[in-house]
Chains A and B, each alone.
Chain A
Amino acid sequence: EAQVTQNPRYLITVTGKKLTVTCSQNMNHEYMSWYRQDPGLGLRQIYYSMNVEVTDKGDVPEGYKVSRKEKRNFPLILESPSPNQTSLYFCASSFGQSNEKLFFGSGTQLSVL
């Protein structure tokens, strides 16, 4: 089954404790992206990757890191999480350009205390 898999689904952590949210897709998509969803703000792009070893900042990259060492995986790293990073996070992928329809993961609800 074609899918984007994120883990974990829920995560509660404390300020400053490094964490990684994993994302994997099995559709051989070149493009992958991370979004956060916040009330009243919709979906905002954090980082995106056009292909292996090619990543770029989205609209709200501060406090986040990503890597794209393999085509299928695109982990999101929070080196020193802060409470303002409490949010619902989505990973997405598509063929080629992001204007193609995106396939989203089920989301990761992160709470930073």
Chain B
Amino acid sequence: DQQVKQNSPSLSVQEGRISILNCDYTNSMFDYFLWYKKYPAEGPTFLISISSIKDKNEDGRFTVFLNKSAKHLSLHIVPSQPGDSAVYFCAASAINFGNEKLTFGTGTRLTIIP
């Protein structure tokens, strides 16, 4: 049972344009969401997070949007740069329900075309 889903295995975007990566979840107890970025031959690195009390969190070129009613979050990268080419994982946990475990999605491979 995949509780966190990233339905697009891959995405290609022109350099300078906006990249939008999507993530859906099924567990209504999830209240904290994170995005990780992974380059080949490296471990994932934390990118940005959002709590369920917010619907948007911004950090430079990266913005995460959360739509709780739709159980959907998205990561926007503007403008996209070649160094953004990587696999992106979304993850969720249920902090306020005492569940510390992070559940990860299957990942989306983003390719930025120069």
Contact = CB atoms under 8 A, between A and B. Distances in A.
A41 to B, nearest CB: 6
A81 interface: no
A98 B100 contact: yes
A interface: dominant SS: strand
B26 interface: no
Given A90-B43, A106-B41, A101 B107 contact: no
B89 interface: yes
Contact of B93 (A35, A40, A98): A98
A81 to B, nearest CB: 22
B7 to A, nearest CB: 12
A104 B89 CA distance: 13
A42 B100 CA distance: 19
Q: Chain B interface secondary structure, helix, strand, loop or mixed?
A: strand
Nearest to A109: B41
A96 to B, nearest CB: 8
A48 B104 CA distance: 15
A76 interface: no
B45 interface: yes
B62 interface: no
A68 B100 CA distance: 18
Given A42-B105, A98-B101, A101-B49, A106 B42 contact: yes
A31, A35, A43, A98, most chain B CB atoms within 10 A: A43
B45 A104 contact: yes
B106 A4 contact: no
26 contacts: A4-B43, A40-B9, A41-B106, A42-B6, A42-B89, A42-B106, A43-B44, A43-B104, A45-B102, A90-B43, A90-B44, A97-B95, A97-B100, A98-B93, A98-B101, A98-B102, A99-B32, A99-B34, A101-B34, A102-B46, A103-B46, A104-B43, A106-B42, A106-B43, A107-B42, A107-B43
Interface of B: 4, 6, 9, 32, 34, 36, 41-46, 49, 89, 91, 93, 95, 100-102, 104-107
